[in-house]
Amino acid sequence: MLLTFDNFGQDSSFRTYNTSFLFALAVTIISLGVNLLGFMSGFSMFMPFICVINIVSHTIGCIYTCVFIMESWHFMTFWYIWAFFAAPVAVLELCIIFGTLCLGTVNRV
Total domains in the chain come to 1
Please tell me the predicted confidence (pLDDT) of residue 11. 78
In a domain, 31, yes or no: yes
In a domain, 84, yes or no: yes
Please tell me the predicted confidence (pLDDT) of residue 85. 96
In a domain, 7, yes or no: no
Please tell me the predicted confidence (pLDDT) of residue 12. 82
In a domain, 33, yes or no: yes
Please tell me the predicted confidence (pLDDT) of residue 4. 53
Please tell me the predicted confidence (pLDDT) of residue 8. 55
In a domain, 28, yes or no: yes
Mean pLDDT per 10-residue interval, the chain, length 109 residues: 52 87 95 94 90 96 96 93 96 92 71
For the CA atoms of 35, 89, 91, 27, the dihedral, rounded to the nearest 10 degrees, stands at 70
Please tell me the predicted confidence (pLDDT) of residue 14. 85
Q: Is the pTM of this model over 0.95?
A: no
Query: Is residue 94 within 8 Å of residue 43, measured between CB atoms?
Result: no
In a domain, 109, yes or no: no
By residue range, what is the domain housing residue 59? 14-103
Please tell me the predicted confidence (pLDDT) of residue 2. 47
Please tell me the predicted confidence (pLDDT) of residue 35. 95
What would the DSSP string read from start to end of 40-96? HTTSSTT-HHHHHHHHHHHHHHHHHHHHHHHHT--THHHHHHIIIIIHHHHHHHHHH
Please tell me the predicted confidence (pLDDT) of residue 106. 65
